[in-house]
Structure 1
């Protein structure tokens, strides 16, 4: 059984099940992949397209085929010496709707529920009417209107015996103890009423675990019972005044308060996943909650059905370091139970966004991240810094406000704090005010001033979070540095009278060693606010507002940084080689903002900034007549639209009207999401139908040859002109992902060109039959390059490098990483390095910023003489020749000063190998 060396990420759902994945295993094996890396497989909401809305951690999702289908997939994988990694979701569960037994138990019994501590609920909320109750903000209108309009309905569930209050797809349990009062005056058996009145919370698997409810269900099935239930429902019919009063009274006695969904930002007293009210945060720091969430996953590992896990949103957990250590310990404890056919290797990867100069804490003891930081680094090194000034100027000329990304982010953080996380900020503010009252030195720190200081600090806090509330974290030097930097920036926006308070708050949030419960709670609240604030303000707002160059607006990236020097790129690779050589290397994910090859096309704009500057200015004037409404879209949204189209524009003309319409539909769907995420003119919570319709009409006219044939011709021309350089970028990105320190990750379908947009566009069905047909052609890279627009050259290169990884896995898992010095006129265009292990040497060379090197539109070869005058300065022993992995017929004589002239023949990427004792 192979160890982890290359993965393929699959998005499982009812339309692509575990059996569908099993059918593709021979293809994945032929590609040279070692593991399938699957989206969550446990029971999720019916119809879930992603699996992150878990309802039951105790079974494999039946929509995916259930446990039997999982066994079939693993059997097929084992036949091909492959493994399975699964995505797990320990941070949150789906709530609202129906089907989450844990959540319903908490709603029914309140803080007395045996599962009340499963969820992160503030039972002592700042609002008096929420003391000891849970806000349930799932109503489609204000509570009074919902009651008056008959949108709340009492119903009895025959199977369980429970009464629920229904609202659309949502159901809310009536406390079982309250059933006695409902039944007492409709002729129900007195002993049944007494038994119900005496009920107490119990850790049962479902409502059938309460004998009194089972007895009620049986009685309700009788003629007398049916009549009685009908009378109870009738007495609580909100369509009558008496019914409304009775239903209101019944709801007033529950442990939850039903509320309009718009109350959420101001009143919510439980933690969500970001701002999604349908996903409630779990407290896996409690050992019994950890066991309940992970028990089945641990069993699957013990049974040899999974070989590793990917932990979703690890920064959402209260104690990530402690969690990762516990997870590894629990999985390792059952490793001896695994069957002999299963590998003993265990991999744990965490989904984490790392800010610039931030690294994964070694105390977590995981293999690495899911690769966002690599996606940023490899993209940045392929962008040309020379285009920065012109692109800055173009954006500054047309941006209505916020000309820099720093300005954009600061304003977005302010917006999100006010409009989305007001309740979380208020809770943290209250907690710090309580701490301040405990000391004579700080008792005059008022709530209002604490709030203003916190606000300033949070606006300037640029990483996901610190870890001061996690005792297993180890050193906190990085956390202190982050707090200090944020405080320094915040100080400039605060009056001098607040500076002492700022220092005190930073001291509380960064305190280590002896801490009382109140300080730890303040740290926990702060750390649970900064992560969702970063996600919502940066990735889900600023990325849709700032349009200097969209290829840098990617998850894990800093759009304010255009490029990365090669020396810095080498430095990051050497660090990864030393500290986490098994981290994943991704260039596409289910969460990316645009496809990996769309980004590489847009990266070429950094090289042709002057041409793009003139073209956009011409479009802005020339397309003005396509607007039906004045300044709809405005200049910001118009400029972002042009780049989105450029990235996704097809390489070949649309074959027919249906294909053109399909592209238009994709762009329009993306545009609605982009406009709402930007929250400038419209949003998900307050959509402006007029602005959205104006933007849609403008976009449709742009893509109508009768209305804007000139624009379409311009776009066709610029895409055709840029496409060869973009393709070389993509191939360079592919080679780097497959040869640098780390585990190469392939996102489903990206074997061919990937010009996708943000989800759901990047989760469209994959045509695996087409990819298998291309792979069966078995042509050389050179032959495929002659037809590079099909994407076959990318697939061919992928397969060749994966085959080499399979043949020499230790070159990548244990081999050295050695930057190679480049000298000569094309030196700035080249990235070169060596990987060496046990007599094998791999020399990797790719070009970057290749627009000026004139890649051929016919076969991507470079039409330049500069490479022949540029040399690699090698330190490998001169004992054998180099053999090409990419170009089968290429053998290169060894020399200490190796000319790059070989890159002029064929595609301009190369992997040369030396095997000690001669070429094998």
Structure 2
């Protein structure tokens, strides 16, 4: 069995099950991959297309085929020398709807439920009428209207004997001890009524409750019981005033309060995944909750059915470092139980968004991240700083209100904090006010002053979170730096009279020691607010508002920074090699905003900024007739649309009307999402159909040859012109991903060109038959270069690199990383480094900013004298010639001053191997 060498990320769902994945394992193995890296496999909400809405941590999702299908997949993987990494979701699970037994138990029994501490619920909410109760904001209209409209109806779940209130797909359980009073009104057996009324939450830990409910089930099936239940439901029928009153009084006795979904931002008293009310946060910092969430995952590892895990949204956990240590400890403790056919290995990767100057703490005891940091770095180093000023000017000329990303993010943060997280803000503010009131030195820091200072701090806090709530695993130096940077920036936003309270707030939130429970609670609340605030304001709002260059609007990236210097890129690679040599290297994920090759195409605009500037201004004037309304879309949305179209545009003209229509529908779906995520003119919660329809009409007109023939010719010409440089960007990105320190991750289907848009477009079905045929029929890299537009050249490159990694795994697992100095006129275009292990060396050379080198549109060659005049400075080892692993029958004598002439006449990406 091979160690973790290279992964393929698969999105599993009812349309692509575990058995479907098993059918493709021979192809994955032939390609050279070592592991399938699957989306969540545990039971999720029915119909889930992603698996992150877990309903039951105790079984494999039956929609994926269940555990039997998992065993079949693993058997197939083992037969091909491969392993399986599973995505796990410890931060949250699906609520609302039906089927979550833990959540329904909490709704039924409230604070007395044995699962009450499983969820992060504030039982002492700031609203007095919510004390001891849970807000359940799933109604499609205000509560009173829902009641009067008959949208809340009582029903009996016959198999369990539980009564529920039903509302569309949602069901809300009634407390069983209320059943006695309800049933006594329809002449149910007095003994049964008395037993039901005497139930308590403690009975859920024994069989008493089940025994009584079983009696209710048996009675309800009798002729008398059926008639009585029908009469009972009639009594609580909201069609009449009496039924409404009874139903309302019954609901008022419950441990939850039903509410309209629009009350959520203001009143929610439990933590969600970001702002998704259908996903409730779990408290896995409690030992029994951790055990309940991970018991089956640990069993799957012990049984040899998984070989590692990918932890979703690690920053959502209260104490991520402690969690990671416990997870590794629990999985390692059962390693001796694994069958002989399973490898004696364990990998743990965490999904984490890192700030530009932030690094994953080594103390977490994990193998690395899922690769967003690498995705940012490798993209940025392939962008050209030369176009920055022109692109800035173009955006500034047309969007004067938020010309910089910093301003765009600031405005988005204010909007999200005010409209999406006011309840979380008030909850934290209240906790801080209580801490202040308990100290004579700070008791005069009132709620309002604390709120103003806290808001300023949150507005300037640009990292995902601090980790002061951790005890024992963190030294907190980086956290203090992060918090102090935000506090310093916040001072400039506040009047001098608020500086003292700001300093106090920052001091409380940065206190270490963990002795004061109130302070710890405030720190946890702060850390659970900054992460979703960053995600929603930056990735899900500002990224859709700021359109200077969309290729930099990517998860884990800073759109305010167009490029990364070569020196910094090498520094990050060295750090990764030293600290996390087994971290994942991704360039596409299920969460990315656009396909990896669309990103590389748009990146070329940084090298032709002047031409793009002129063309966009020409389009703005020339496409005015496509508008049905004068300023719909506005300039920002128009500029963003042009770039999105450019990135997704097909390499070859549409073969028929159906293909054009498919593109139009994909762009239209993207456009609605982009406009609503931006939240400028429309949103998911308050859609403006007039603006959306006008934007849709504008898009339709742009794609109509009868209306916009000139524009379509311009776009096709531009795509054709920049595509050779874009293709070299994309191939360079591939080579870097498969040769730099780390474990390369291939997102499903991206073996060929990937010009997809944001999800769900990037999760569309993959044509594996086409990819398998391309792999079987592949010839040489140079022959494929002649038809590079098919994308087969990319697949071939991936295959050759994976094959080499499989032959020489230690070169990548334990080999050094050495930057190669470049001299000569093309030095700024070259990225070069060497990996060495014992007597073997691999020299990688790729080109960047290729637009200026004029790659051939026929076969991507660079015909320039600059290559011969540019040299790699290499130490002589005496180990013989360099042999190409990408280009057949090519070798080069060892030379301390190796000319790049070896790239002349071929696709200019190269990996040279020296085997002493």
Q: TM-score range by the shorter chain?
A: over 0.9
Which residue of the partner structure matches residue 195 of structure 2?
Answer: 195
Please list the CA deviations of residues 252-295 of structure 1 after superposition, one character each: whole Å capped at 9, or x if unmatched. Answer: 00000000000000000000000000000000000000000000
Report whether the alignment pairs 1:863 with 2:863. yes
Deviation at 1:839, TM superposition (A): 1.1
Please list the CA deviations of residues 473-508 of structure 1 after superposition, one character each: whole Å capped at 9, or x if unmatched. Answer: 321111100100001111001010110111111110
Which residue of the partner structure matches residue 100 of structure 2?
Answer: 100
Which residue of the partner structure matches residue 351 of structure 2?
Answer: 351
Counterpart mapping for 1:228-307 below 5 A = 228-307=228-307
Tell me the secondary structure at the aligned position of residue 186 of structure 1. Answer: coil
Tell me the secondary structure at the aligned position of residue 869 of structure 1. Answer: coil
In the superposition, the TM-score normalised over structure 1's length comes to: 0.99
The question of whether the paired residues in 1 share the 8 Å contact of 2:177 and 2:198 is answered with: yes
Deviation at 1:207, TM superposition (A): 10
Please list the CA deviations of residues 668-705 of structure 1 after superposition, one character each: whole Å capped at 9, or x if unmatched. Answer: 00000000000000000000000000000000000000
Deviation at 1:357, TM superposition (A): 1.0
State the alpha-carbon separation in 2 of the partners of residues 43 and 202 from structure 1: 28
Which residue of the partner structure matches residue 706 of structure 2?
Answer: 706
Which residue of the partner structure matches residue 773 of structure 2?
Answer: 773
Please list the CA deviations of residues 832-877 of structure 1 after superposition, one character each: whole Å capped at 9, or x if unmatched. Answer: 0000002110000000001011100000011211011000000241
State the alpha-carbon separation in 2 of the partners of residues 92 and 232 from structure 1: 36
Which residue of the partner structure matches residue 213 of structure 1?
Answer: 213
Which residue of the partner structure matches residue 489 of structure 2?
Answer: 489
The 1:629/1:203 distance shift into structure 2, 3 A limit, reads farther
Deviation at 1:231, TM superposition (A): 1.1
Please list the CA deviations of residues 750-780 of structure 1 after superposition, one character each: whole Å capped at 9, or x if unmatched. Answer: 0000000000000000000000000001301
The question of whether the paired residues in 2 share the 8 Å contact of 1:400 and 1:635 is answered with: no
Which residue of the partner structure matches residue 843 of structure 1?
Answer: 843
Deviation at 1:205, TM superposition (A): 9.3
Which residue of the partner structure matches residue 598 of structure 2?
Answer: 598
Which residue of the partner structure matches residue 479 of structure 1?
Answer: 479
Which residue of the partner structure matches residue 460 of structure 1?
Answer: 460
Which residue of the partner structure matches residue 912 of structure 2?
Answer: 912
Deviation at 1:911, TM superposition (A): 0.2
The 1:221/1:497 distance shift into structure 2, 3 A limit, reads same
Please list the CA deviations of residues 720-741 of structure 1 after superposition, one character each: whole Å capped at 9, or x if unmatched. Answer: 0000000000000000000000
State the alpha-carbon separation in 1 of the partners of residues 770 and 123 from structure 2: 55
Counterpart mapping for 1:506-655 below 5 A = 506-655=506-655
Q: Which runs of 4+ in 1 moved over 2 A?
A: 202-209
Tell me the secondary structure at the aligned position of residue 29 of structure 2. Answer: helix
State the alpha-carbon separation in 2 of the partners of residues 389 and 800 from structure 1: 39
Tell me the secondary structure at the aligned position of residue 154 of structure 2. Answer: strand
State the alpha-carbon separation in 1 of the partners of residues 874 and 83 from structure 2: 38
Which residue of the partner structure matches residue 122 of structure 1?
Answer: 122
Deviation at 1:514, TM superposition (A): 4.9
State the alpha-carbon separation in 1 of the partners of residues 380 and 793 from structure 2: 23
The question of whether the paired residues in 1 share the 8 Å contact of 2:780 and 2:887 is answered with: yes
State the alpha-carbon separation in 2 of the partners of residues 584 and 905 from structure 1: 33
Which residue of the partner structure matches residue 665 of structure 2?
Answer: 665
Deviation at 1:191, TM superposition (A): 1.0
Counterpart mapping for 1:131-210 below 5 A = 131-202=131-202, 210=210
State the alpha-carbon separation in 1 of the partners of residues 493 and 519 from structure 2: 25
The question of whether the paired residues in 1 share the 8 Å contact of 2:161 and 2:216 is answered with: yes
Please list the CA deviations of residues 399-428 of structure 1 after superposition, one character each: whole Å capped at 9, or x if unmatched. Answer: 141100000001100000000000000000
Which residue of the partner structure matches residue 321 of structure 1?
Answer: 321
- Give the aligned CA root-mean-square deviation in angstroms: 1.0
The 1:819/1:434 distance shift into structure 2, 3 A limit, reads same
State the alpha-carbon separation in 1 of the partners of residues 717 and 910 from structure 2: 29
State the alpha-carbon separation in 1 of the partners of residues 472 and 661 from structure 2: 54
State the alpha-carbon separation in 1 of the partners of residues 208 and 161 from structure 2: 8
Which residue of the partner structure matches residue 417 of structure 1?
Answer: 417
Which residue of the partner structure matches residue 695 of structure 1?
Answer: 695
The question of whether the paired residues in 2 share the 8 Å contact of 1:457 and 1:486 is answered with: yes
State the alpha-carbon separation in 2 of the partners of residues 557 and 698 from structure 1: 30
The question of whether the paired residues in 2 share the 8 Å contact of 1:437 and 1:444 is answered with: yes
Structure 1: segments with no counterpart, 5+ residues? none
The question of whether the paired residues in 1 share the 8 Å contact of 2:381 and 2:565 is answered with: yes
The question of whether the paired residues in 2 share the 8 Å contact of 1:123 and 1:269 is answered with: yes
The 1:203/1:375 distance shift into structure 2, 3 A limit, reads farther
Which residue of the partner structure matches residue 8 of structure 1?
Answer: 8
Which residue of the partner structure matches residue 28 of structure 2?
Answer: 28
The question of whether the paired residues in 2 share the 8 Å contact of 1:467 and 1:473 is answered with: no
The question of whether the paired residues in 2 share the 8 Å contact of 1:363 and 1:472 is answered with: no
Structure 2: segments with no counterpart, 5+ residues? none
The question of whether the paired residues in 1 share the 8 Å contact of 2:139 and 2:261 is answered with: yes
Which residue of the partner structure matches residue 437 of structure 1?
Answer: 437
Report whether the alignment pairs 1:224 with 2:224. yes
The 1:61/1:514 distance shift into structure 2, 3 A limit, reads closer
State the alpha-carbon separation in 1 of the partners of residues 833 and 470 from structure 2: 39
Q: Which moved more, 1:198-207 or 1:96-105?
A: 198-207
In the superposition, the TM-score normalised over structure 2's length comes to: 0.99
Which residue of the partner structure matches residue 786 of structure 1?
Answer: 786
The 1:548/1:833 distance shift into structure 2, 3 A limit, reads same
State the alpha-carbon separation in 1 of the partners of residues 202 and 411 from structure 2: 48
Which residue of the partner structure matches residue 503 of structure 1?
Answer: 503
The question of whether the paired residues in 1 share the 8 Å contact of 2:879 and 2:915 is answered with: no
Tell me the secondary structure at the aligned position of residue 816 of structure 2. Answer: coil
Please list the CA deviations of residues 545-572 of structure 1 after superposition, one character each: whole Å capped at 9, or x if unmatched. Answer: 0000000000000000000010100000
Which residue of the partner structure matches residue 19 of structure 2?
Answer: 19
Deviation at 1:511, TM superposition (A): 0.6
Q: Which moved more, 1:801-810 or 1:180-189?
A: 180-189
The question of whether the paired residues in 1 share the 8 Å contact of 2:114 and 2:205 is answered with: no
Deviation at 1:630, TM superposition (A): 1.5
State the alpha-carbon separation in 2 of the partners of residues 874 and 902 from structure 1: 15
The question of whether the paired residues in 1 share the 8 Å contact of 2:840 and 2:915 is answered with: yes
The question of whether the paired residues in 2 share the 8 Å contact of 1:460 and 1:487 is answered with: yes
User: What is the aligned length?
Assistant: 916
Please list the CA deviations of residues 595-634 of structure 1 after superposition, one character each: whole Å capped at 9, or x if unmatched. Answer: 0000000000000000000000000001011101120000
State the alpha-carbon separation in 2 of the partners of residues 900 and 507 from structure 1: 56
Deviation at 1:184, TM superposition (A): 1.1
State the alpha-carbon separation in 2 of the partners of residues 208 and 876 from structure 1: 81
Tell me the secondary structure at the aligned position of residue 135 of structure 2. Answer: strand
The question of whether the paired residues in 1 share the 8 Å contact of 2:514 and 2:520 is answered with: no
Which residue of the partner structure matches residue 879 of structure 2?
Answer: 879
State the alpha-carbon separation in 2 of the partners of residues 643 and 664 from structure 1: 15
The question of whether the paired residues in 2 share the 8 Å contact of 1:878 and 1:896 is answered with: no
The question of whether the paired residues in 1 share the 8 Å contact of 2:132 and 2:255 is answered with: yes
State the alpha-carbon separation in 1 of the partners of residues 551 and 876 from structure 2: 37
Tell me the secondary structure at the aligned position of residue 463 of structure 1. Answer: coil
Deviation at 1:185, TM superposition (A): 2.2
Deviation at 1:813, TM superposition (A): 1.0
The 1:14/1:564 distance shift into structure 2, 3 A limit, reads same
State the alpha-carbon separation in 1 of the partners of residues 87 and 104 from structure 2: 25
The question of whether the paired residues in 2 share the 8 Å contact of 1:114 and 1:203 is answered with: no
State the alpha-carbon separation in 2 of the partners of residues 11 and 3 from structure 1: 23
Tell me the secondary structure at the aligned position of residue 309 of structure 2. Answer: strand
Tell me the secondary structure at the aligned position of residue 910 of structure 2. Answer: strand
Tell me the secondary structure at the aligned position of residue 529 of structure 2. Answer: helix
Tell me the secondary structure at the aligned position of residue 501 of structure 2. Answer: helix
The question of whether the paired residues in 1 share the 8 Å contact of 2:199 and 2:209 is answered with: no
State the alpha-carbon separation in 2 of the partners of residues 364 and 638 from structure 1: 44
Counterpart mapping for 1:391-410 below 5 A = 391-410=391-410
Deviation at 1:208, TM superposition (A): 10
